[in-house]
Structure 1
């Protein structure tokens, strides 16, 4: 646990800590921030001294976060992203956002949550043209020239700014007939049964994320009977008795007459966090910043 001391913690120290955490390298963090490597090292050492814990494990090959460092980064990373966005906004004198805003999002979330808010954004900013591509593939934002992406966390990429925007509860379900025939009427199963039952899954390498009562996490890899990259199709297959399905709770409850919700003893399903993501750069175009702010305002008010 991080125990702050009384020493003053500098803003530069925090900014450089975030840079090193993202880059996994003092040298690369120095290059990205334009600060000498020796200065980066000194600020990190001062920060560790000020808060009384070691933040990085350093070897001749790599730099990695300690558990204390990871907890600190999880809290302060988004704060520095917001500060950077605010400073860019103050520096940008463009009166009205304009140009083409290119956005990519997962198929289901994009259709149900992203698109409606983009339509509203387009009406509010008539000088901005919008291009929305719905795909479950992780695209390279810079290479494919996208301004924004919506992704299920955790988000990887040192050159990306990721800010959590939505959290969707997930659940487990099967058809009433499957419950009667395969589970013998039980709606509570064990974690061992979970990995053995036929399942409809949406990712070949994906895992279902569960959390124990003590807070530790289990990543369970189900026995895939059907693989399809659209959860709506997986849910439809489950209604036909083909197996169990893990999907957004709102999607399962919408089919309450055709599905029975299941529980896993001693476990709960982790919600899926959706992040709004954009390339990290010194100046963010006004159309991108306006869109990010728009989604944050709307999501906090329950929009879409």
Structure 2
């Protein structure tokens, strides 16, 4: 079964569907996981991959009772085939039924603040343009499992560290620091420009327990400041409300400060700027992205 050099089918043909199934197994190094994601029986998947190996005259996967691994031939085939499969899927998706009106339910999850202010308006404008689309939008700051919960798409603040997900940058969200006028007067002694140590020592309202505030130094390096956590709430809007009451400094999107008017005072840090957050669209697999989801994603990105 082993071979060296070029991989080639014995009869000049290679079943594309079998190649796609192999790529999914190779990506996850698991027949069980690949079968679950593809919605086919594990036995069928195993049989189709074995058929591909017979066609190519090469063993692509090493199978044991505990694990699945790629052979040298399998690694080479995956490296060459995966980009081609992605490109082919994209071409077919844009060619076949390209005039069809997108339809179906669009299940999306997004952060509470950015989701309500920017993503929701874009998604519902998309739904208004395509009446056969129905939107189910869940706003949460929790990192839900897209596969287990059945979501088509998620918007998340980076960095994205889940290798199982495809991440596509959407836009940058400017962040800043603020506190109430009373807090500035009584705790900061009227100062709105603080050194790093002072900022780290005064009470803060965090959106995540144990969280840090990323600051960018003038030389471009990143400084992760750990604030003095006084209060914690997982909704940035409520964190801002706590800051308005004088309970501490808050770090949040600049657009969230605007409705507060003079109830909040912007703060700056000597030698540093508050790092913006990158918003990403994430989904389980580029090849499995339905057309309605791809169109919605492009729509949100263009109008964000």
| Alignment TM-score, normalising by the size of structure 1 | 0.71
Report the equivalent of 1:38: 72
| Cα displacement (A) at 1:40 | 7.2
The corresponding residue for 1:169 is 174
- Structure 1 residue 180: Cα displacement: 1.4
Alignment deviations for residues 45-80 of structure 1 (CA, whole Å, 9 cap, x no partner): 9xxxxxxxxxxxxxxxxxxxxxxxxxxxxxxxxx99
Could you tell me which of 211, 216, 220 is aligned with 2:216? 211
Show the counterpart of 1:19: none
> Which of residues 90, 94, 97 is equivalent to 1:90?
94
The 2-side partners of 1:40 and 1:262 are apart by 55
Tell me the CA shift for residue 165 of structure 1.
Answer: 1.1
Matches within 5 A, 1:235-254: 235-254=240-259
Matched, 1:122 2:122: no
Superposed CA RMSD: 3.1
Q: Return 5+ residue gaps in structure 2 as ranges.
A: 1-25, 35-51, 53-59, 61-69
8 Å CA contact retained: 1:30, 1:40: no
CA contact (8 A) 2:168 2:281 kept: yes
Q: Are the structure 2 counterparts of residues 99 and 135 from structure 1 closer, same or farther at C-alpha, using a change threshold of 3 Å?
A: same
Larger Rg: 2
Rounded to whole Å, the distance in 1 between the matches of 2:89 and 2:245 is: 48
Aligned pair partner of 2:195 in 190, 195, 202: 190
* SS in structure 1 of the partner of residue 263 of structure 2: coil
**Deviates most, 239-248 or 35-44:** 35-44
Matched, 1:290 2:295: yes
TM alignment of 1:32-111, pairs within 5 A:
37-38=71-72, 86-87=90-91, 89-90=93-94, 92-93=96-97, 95-111=100-116
SS at match of 1:254: helix
Say if 1:194 and 1:84 are closer, same or farther in 2 by CA, change over 3 A. Answer: farther
Tell whether the 8 Å contact from 2:89 to 2:287 is kept in structure 1 after alignment. Answer: no
SS where residue 263 of structure 1 aligns?
A: strand
1:87 to partner: Cα distance: 3.5
Corresponding position of 2:264 = 259
CA shift, 1:279, in A, is 1.3
1:151 — aligned with what?
A: 156
Q: 1:286 to 1:28 in 2, by over 3 A?
A: closer
Once the two structures are superposed, residues 179-237 of structure 1 have per-residue CA deviations (whole angstroms, 9 ceiling, x without a partner) of 11111111111111122110011001321111111111011121111111111111111
Displacement of 1:37: 4.4
Q: Any idea what the Cα deviations from partners look like across 1:78-126, whole Å, max 9, x if unmatched?
A: x99x968744533643622211110111111111111111111111111
Partners in 1 of 2:273 and 2:77 — Cα distance? Answer: 41
Q: Does 1:231 align with 2:236?
A: yes
Taking the aligned partners of 1:298 and 1:96, their CA distance within structure 2 comes to 20
Count the aligned residue pairs: 242
Secondary structure of 1:112's aligned partner:
helix
In the aligned structure 1, how far is the partner of 2:28 from the partner of 2:207? 36
Contact 1:104/1:150 (8 A) holds in 2? yes
User: Counterpart of 1:232 in 2: which secondary structure?
Assistant: helix
Query: What's the CA shift for 1:29?
Result: 7.3
TM-score normalized by structure 2?
0.71
- Alpha-carbon contact 1:102-1:145 (below 8 Å) kept: yes
Q: Is the 8 A contact 2:210 2:229 kept in 1?
A: no
